[in-house]
């Protein structure tokens, strides 16, 4: 089983839609969780950290489910500019962050 797994998509949604991505991780000792965003031919950039209690930043909501070992990202009222690849990153308290393969989102008019 891969350490961090994501559905590669693409998720193709209309503007205004709500879309959710999940990311599963295999290391139960994992302590830190992030979502990064990567635009086409650009570098990854931090979107948000994921806290145990869940956290929200505008239209974006991140949740952590330790029992089932997954994190989620919910995007409400999708914009064209949300089109990108969303990378899940999991850390186990060491020096080795593990990136998922990414989920591609395409928002169309």
Partner 1 sequence: DTAVSQTPKYLVTQMGNDKSIKCEQNLGHDTMYWYKQDSKKFLKIMFSYNNKELIINETVPNRFSPKSPDKAHLNLHINSLELGDSAVYFCASSQEGLDTDTQYFGPGTRLTVL
Question: Within 13 Å, how many C-alpha atoms sit on residue 33's CB side?
Answer: 28
CB of 50 to partner 1, least distance (A): 12
CB of 105 to partner 1, least distance (A): 13
Q: Specify the residue, 67 or 96, whose C-beta has the smaller distance to partner 1.
A: 96
CB of 16 to partner 1, least distance (A): 27
Applying CB under 8 A, the residues found at the interface with partner 1 are 31-32, 34, 36, 41-46, 49, 85, 87, 89-99, 101-102
């Amino acid at each position: 089983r891969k350490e961090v797994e994501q559905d590669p998509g693409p998720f193709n949604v209309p503007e205004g839609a709500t879309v959710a991505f999940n990311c599963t991780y295999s290391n139960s000792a994992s302590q830190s969780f992030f979502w990064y965003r990567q635009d086409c031919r650009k570098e990854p950039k931090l979107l948000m950290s994921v806290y145990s209690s869940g956290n929200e930043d505008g239209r974006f909501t991140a949740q952590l489910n330790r029992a089932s070992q997954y994190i989620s990202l919910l995007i409400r009222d999708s914009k064209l500019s949300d089109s990108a690849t969303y990378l899940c990153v999991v850390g186990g308290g060491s020096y080795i962050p593990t990136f998922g393969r990414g989920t591609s989102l395409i928002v169309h008019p």
